[in-house]
Amino acid sequence: MIGVIDYGMGNVRSVQKAFEHVEADVELASDPARVESYDQLVLPGVGAFAQGMEHLRQRGWVQPIRRFIASGQPFLGICLGMQLLFEDSQEDASSPDQPVPGLAVLPGSVVGFSPRAADGTRRKVPHMGWNTIHWRRDDPLLSGLDQGVAVYFVHGYYPRPVETPDNPVASATCDYGGEFCASIWRDNVWATQFHPEKSQRIGLRMLANFATVCRGSVC
């Protein structure tokens, strides 16, 4: 059974329906005390980082999420749910040297897009709409998909993982006036900055992969 964490931040019903469309066993998870009843967990999210962390704390999800991930069972973060897995974020920070703390499951920080791209041209922020992603390495979540597939983004911030060649985190990147991390995979943790549930056939394939291929890769 896949549990989609319902913590009051975003499109949990859309994610649930997308998993149902690929015939996965799924339900909304609103009780942290039942976390051990799930084989896999999904943390979706739309909104601001600080508010997301506050909702997780108020509803008692912070430690259950950390325990679930530490147990080795498959976990998927989507959009804000991806960002919350990192150590901290510049979004809502009182100053650059006082970022907002996150779940600290993954090493790295969440940073914002500048209105001016790396080449000096202006870009719209937030990054919204369809864009292509490119694999950096094999990832069970992306199994069966071609390089350069288009997925749907809505975000003004993105994670900047701390990684080395021997300890990679990012599995795919996207170019929006400069390259940024579009998806991650480390051990039993997957996450996407884009919305698979809004990415039509491509996104549904990823959710089906999480329900089957990803689970098998860690069992």
Whether 195 is a known active-site residue: answer yes
Which of 55, 127, 155, 195 is labelled catalytic? 195
Closest CA to 182 of 88, 47, 79: 79
Concerning whether 214 is annotated as a catalytic residue, the answer is no
Q: In angstroms, rounded to a whole number, what is the distance separating the alpha carbons of residues 47 and 140? A: 28
Check 79, 174, 181, 214 and give the catalytic one. Answer: 79
Annotated catalytic residue 20: no
Catalytic residue among 55, 87, 174, 197: 197
Amino acid (1-letter code) at residue 25: D
Catalytic residues: 79, 195, 197
